[in-house]
Amino acid sequence: MSRVARLAKIIRIIGRYRLDEFIDPGRLHALPRTVLRCAPWRLHRAPALPRGVRLRRALEELGPVFIKFGQMLSTRRDLLPQDIANELAKLQDEVPPFPQQQSINIIETALGKPVTELFASFEATPMASASVAQVHAAKLHTGEQVVVKVVRPDIEAVIRQDLALMFTLARLVAKYLPQGRRLRPVEVVSDYQLVILDELDLSREAANACQLRRNFEGSKLVYIPEVHWDYTCRNVFTMERISGIPVTDMDTLREKGVDLKVLGERGVEIFFTQVFRDSFFHADMHPGNIFVDASDPADPTYIAVDCAIVGSLSDSDQYYLARNLLAIFQRDYREVAQLHVECGWVPPQTRVQDFESAMRAVCEPIFERPLSEISFGELLVYLFRTAGRFDMEVQPSLVLLQKTLLNIEGLGRQLYPELNLWDTAQPFLEEWVQERYSPQSVFKRLQRHAPSWLEQLPQLPDVVIDSLQQSREIEQRFTQQQRHMNELQQQSSSRVARQRRYTVAAIACIAAAVSVFPGAWQQLSQAPLISWLLGALALGLLWPRVS
């Protein structure tokens, strides 16, 4: 489909669901009235549906790329009204599979061998199909059961075409939608572009899975399937086939006698362990990617798949996030405000007392409820939204963190409604902060940086000498410039003083002549030549001299 045809389809769908009603009419004053009256959406009557439902259905009709964008947009609850965010969260990424032979051709081209040589058995009918890839079951010659993920053919060209149109729509939203600039739609589309283009590289997903598997090796919290690198490349990903209960299958979990309280608390522990211990977290932990190993119902283990999207925090972000969360637990809004300014999440000129007051207004009504009823993820959304009023630029890593926390908390509450995330999180954070600044931890960080410092140590004298030399040169240049400025000021002062002296002398001469020869002066002043000479003399006396 050409770009023009695709744009025409988008306009038809916008008109069918009357998405133009999202736009403030007052912002369309620059357009001619005839254009507004003849707009294609005027041909349709607005469906009798809530605005969130209309937007969701429009995205579903626009296809996989827009569906995935809507899914990501639903996590930006700091930017969207609640009704729209809730409706977009219902988007399902169910796409018809592409032809089996195409899938086989992609695998054989990528791995350089026929499927019959690569695998002992291969199921041509896909197990599942999504917007970017589909999955087939297979068996290696060594006997391991695996799944083979294959990127859709020519999907990158389609994605890039739709991204170009999304950027156009985002710029229109920023210009015409109420509060469009605050929503920062262009930045949101840019974040989405990075996410979806990364998902096209399955070798990146495989590397993420290996890292997560290594981080939780031997742990009962979560299991990550093994990657088979000999059968993995950019557009083909082969991993261990797992057997587990979908985390949303509550009937089966209860039937197996799974301890749902333990399962819910472990989800929270997994999140904080990934964020603060490893600084590497699975950022797409929605229920479709989570299964449960119930072989020991009293000691269940999560199984996580689809590691295409991961997040990471810097050391400073980890530290400031932990202290912010602890300050929120303790309702110390002054510290929350100071930490936001200190870590650069809000501009340095932000008045701490104003930000503190805004935080208090948001948090106090929430804390009036029992802790077990407070959504930690929603509170984080409210804080980001409030900080947005103070020009906080939310970093992508923090957005992924917020999204993951919302997923984990929602999952935990679904498993065990009485789950109190605060009771699980607060001891973890307090222990983490205390351990971070223990002598052992500080010594470990020194050890980690020691090789780099030792490598640079021999260059230190040269660096010091160069710095001193540069300092002296800068000082000399400054002294020369200052001396030159002083000379210019003196010259200017001399010219002004000299000009004043000449002016005073001229006035004195004229005054003396008038007083001594009043009659003669009157006669001479009537002579044109004499008048002209006196004027020239006065002008000459008043004209500034160049020294």
Can you give the residue ranges of every domain in the chain? Answer: 1-92, 95-241, 249-437, 460-542
pLDDT at 58 over 60: yes
Euclidean distance between CA atoms 124 and 545, whole angstroms: 97
Candidates 20, 78, 162, 284; catalytic one: 284
pLDDT at 535 over 70: no
Question: Of 28-37, 176-185, 226-235, which range is least confident?
Answer: 28-37
Q: What percent of the chain has pLDDT over 70?
A: 76
Question: Of 37-41, 155-159, 362-366, which range is least confident?
Answer: 37-41
**What's the pLDDT score for residue 4?**
74
The residues, ordered by sequence, that sit 6+ positions from 86 with a Cβ below 8 Å of its Cβ are 52, 74
Euclidean distance between CA atoms 93 and 35, whole angstroms: 36
Mean pLDDT over 370-383 rounds to: 72
**Most confident region among 251-265, 321-335, 511-525, 528-542 by mean pLDDT:** 251-265
Label residue 518 by pLDDT band (50, 70, 90).
low
Who wins on pLDDT, 114 or 42?
Answer: 114
pTM for this entry? 0.69
pLDDT at 547 over 60: no
pLDDT at 411 over 90: no
Who wins on pLDDT, 365 or 228?
Answer: 228
**What's the pLDDT score for residue 426?**
80
pLDDT at 523 over 80: no
Mean pLDDT over 488-510 rounds to: 70
Question: Of 230-239, 486-495, 527-536, which range is least confident?
Answer: 527-536
Kindly write down the DSSP assignment for every residue of 433-502, as one continuous string: HHHHTSHHHHHHHHHHHHHHHHHHGGGHHHHHHHHHHHHHHHHHHHHHHHHHHHHHHHHHHHHHHHHHHH
**What's the pLDDT score for residue 81?**
78
HEC-encoded secondary structure of 369-415: CCHHHCCHHHHHHHHHHHHHCCCCCCCHHHHHHHHHHHHHHHHHHHH
Who wins on pLDDT, 106 or 507?
Answer: 106
Label residue 76 by pLDDT band (50, 70, 90).
low
Catalytic (active site) residue 284: yes
pLDDT at 252 over 90: yes
Mean pLDDT over 469-498 rounds to: 75
